[in-house]
Structure 1
Amino acid sequence: MISESFTFKGKDYVEIFVYKWTPNVDVQVRGVVQLAHGMAETAARYEDFANDLTKNGFIVYANDHRGHGETAGKVETLGELGEDAFNSMVEDMHRLNSIIKEENVTLPIFLFGHSMGSFLTQRYICLYGSELKGVILTGTCGKREIIVDIGRIASKVEIMRRGRNAKSINLNKLIFGSNNNFFKPNRTLFDWLSRDNKEVDKYIENPYCGAVFTAGFFYDFLSGLKSVADAEEIKNIPNNLPIYIFGGDKDPVGKNGKGALKLVKTYEKHGVKDLTYKLYKEGRHEMLHETNKDEVTTDIIKWINAHV
C-alpha cells in the first residue's frame, strides 16, 4: 500500500487534511472508497481497513473532518468546528469527492460513513446520491426524536450561558454518558466502542481521540440529525443507489441494532431498491475495531465487489 496525504480548501477556506492510500503497482485498481470517520476520532485510525481495501484494488481517501485530527492542527483546537458544522462537513466531503473524480475519472466511487460520518453520509446522499456508485453506513441509526430535541434545547441553553465556542462537558455527558451503561462493570469510559480491550486502549491513548466538543457543534450536529430524518429530504435519495447498513447488535448508538433496522425500514419505505443490512452478534459501536473485524472487512469487500 502506498500512503500519501494532501490538503484542500473546504467551505469557508478551512484547510482540510486528507489521507490517501493507493494499491501497490502490481494490483489492478478497480474503484475508490471515500471514508467519513466518526466524532472525536481521526481518519488515521482507518489505515488497517484501507490496507485491506487496497489489497483488493481500491484507492481510499479519508479526510479528517474540521475540528478533528490533522485538520484541527493541534490537540487544543479539537472539537472546534466553526459555524454550521454539520452542513460544512457535508460540503467538505463533496469537495473531496470532486477531487477524487478529477483524479480517477473512470472509477466508481463508494462512500463509507461511520457514526457521525454515517449521519453526514445520510445527508450527503439526499444531496449528491446520484454521484455515487454505492454507500456503506455503520455505527448508525434511524430517527431519534427525543434525544435530538432534548439535546437541541440543552445546547441552546449552553450557548446562551457560555457561548458557541465553549467546550461542553454537560452536553458530552447528555449525548454519550449512557453509552457505557450497557457494559457494567466498566473497565474504561469507552468500553462501548469495542470488545477488544487493545483497540479501546489505543483509542484512549490517541491524543486526537475522545475530545470534548463545543456547545455550538452539538447544536449544529443535532440539527443535522433532525434534517436527515426529514421524510421530504429522504425522498431525494436515488432509488437505485445501493446501500449497505451494518453494525453490532450491542451498539448503543444504534440502539442495540433497533436503530439501524429502523433506518433500513425508512429506506425501504422510500423505495430504495438495493438495500442490504447485517447485525453482528455482541458487536459494539466500532465494528472495524471489533474482535471479529476480519469477518466484517470481508463482508464489506464482498458487498463492494458485487457492485463494482
Structure 2
Amino acid sequence: MTQTKEFSYPSSDGVHTIHAHEWFPQSSPIAVIQIVHGVAEHIGRYQHLAQFLTAHGFVVCGEDHLGHGLTVNDGRYGYFAPRGGWDLVTQDVRRLREIEGKKFPGLPHVLLGHSMGSFLTRTYLIRWPGTVDGAVLSGTGQEKAPLVAFGRLLAGGLAALKGSDYVSPLIYELSLGAYNKKFQPARTRADWLSRDRDMVDANLNDPLCAFQPTVSMFRDMMEGLQFIASKKNLSKMDVDTPIYFLSGDQDPVGSMGKGVRKVEAMFRSAGCRDVTVKLYAGGRHEMFNELNRQEVMEDLLVWLEQRFFD
C-alpha cells in the first residue's frame, strides 16, 4: 500500500493555510513529482496517478490552491484573492517545491501541471528557472491574445462592478461552459473532460468540484495567460529543463491539439532544447482520467526514466 501524509503550510497571501498531500514509495525514493492541479478540482483527484508513480519509486506531492479543495475554510470556492491572485498561487506552488526540496535534498524534482495547473507551471518555469529538473504539461493550450485580453477586461470589469467574489454565469458560459459544445449531443455538462463516463460522473459528484470560479479568478487566470505568452518572459526560462507535453487531440482547452502545438512552438522559439509532445487520438481534456489512462501513465514513466535514470 502507498503511504500517504497530509500536512499544511502558510499561504503566500498571509491569511490562508494551504492543504497539501504526499504519497511515498515503499522503496527509497528516486525523484519527486509535484502535481499542480487545475481549476475547480483538488489534489485528491490524483490518487490513482500518485499510486502508479509511487509503485515505481517516486515521491508524489501536491497542494490545493487558494479557493480549492481543503484549503478553503471560509466557503469561498473559486476565489484566489482580491488582486494578484495568480502570483500568490504560483508562490504557493514554489513554497511546496522548497518544502519538498528540504525533505528530499538532491533528488530530481519534476512539476506536473494539468490545465490551469499547466499555466501555473509555465509561470513557475519563467519566475524560477533552473529550480526544477523537468516539467510535464498536461491539457495545456494558449488562446489568441485578443480573446485573452477581452476575457481579462470583461472579468475585471465585473469584479470592479459586482465584487471580486461574484460568480458570473455569462463568463462561465463563454469559457469553461463552451468546451462541451464540441461534444453534442452531450450526456452531461462535463463530457469534454473524458470519454470515461465513470470518471466524468465522479467529477460531477465530487462536492469539492461543484463550483464555478469567481470573476476575479477568471481575471487572474487571464493575467497569467498573458504573462506566459510574452516572448520576453519566455526568454527567462532555463532552456535545458526537459519539457513533456501530453494532451488529447480532442481537448478543447488545447484547441484539439493545435493549441498544444502552438505552445510547443513558443517553447522551441525560446530556445528550449528538450521538448517532447504526445497527442492521444480521441483523448479529451483529462488524459489521466481517460479510457487509456494506463497507457498515458506508462508513457509518462518512460519519459521520466529516459530523462533522469538512463
Q: Shorter-chain TM-score: what band?
A: over 0.9
CA distance in 2, matches of 1:50, 1:147: 35
Contact 1:143 1:259 in 2 (8 A): yes
> Could you tell me which residue of structure 1 aligns to residue 41 of structure 2?
41
Partner of 2:77: 78
The one-letter code of the counterpart of 1:251 is: D
After TM superposition, give the deviation of residue 283 of structure 1 in Å: 0.3
TM-score (norm 2): 0.96
Query: 2:147, 2:58 → 1: CA distance?
Result: 38
Tell me the equivalent position of 2:127. Answer: 127
Q: How does 1:201-220 map to 2 (within 5 A)?
A: 201-220=201-220
Moved more, 86-95 or 164-173: 164-173
- Could you tell me which amino acid in structure 2 is paired with residue 102 of structure 1? K
Q: What is the CA deviation profile of residues 62-117 of structure 1, one whole-angstrom value per residue up to 9, with x for unaligned ones?
A: 1000100000136x321122131111110000011110111001211000000000
Q: Deviations over 1:20-77 (max 9, x none)?
A: 00012xx231000011000000110000000000001000111000100000136x32
How far 1:169 moved relative to its partner? 2.0
Query: What are the equivalent positions in structure 2 for 1:219-298 lying under 5 Å apart?
Result: 219-298=219-298
Aligned match of 1:193:
193
> 1:206: how far off?
0.1
Which of 15, 21, 24 is the equivalent residue of 2:23? 21
Structure 1: distance between partners of 2:162 and 2:143 = 29
Gaps of 5+ in 1: none
Partner of 2:10: 9
Separation in 2, partners of 1:248, 1:77: 32
- The share of aligned pairs that are identical, in percent, is 34
**Map of 1:145 onto structure 2:** 145
Deviation per residue, 1:183-240 (Å, 9 max, x gap):
1101000000000000000000000114111111111110111011000000011111
**Distance apart, 1:143 and its partner CA:** 5.0
Contact 1:143 1:263 in 2 (8 A): no
Letter in 2 for 1:178: A
TM-score in terms of structure 1 length? 0.97
* Contact 2:142 2:225 survives alignment (8 Å): no
Identify the residue that residue 98 of structure 1 maps to in structure 2: 98
Q: CA deviation at 1:129?
A: 2.6
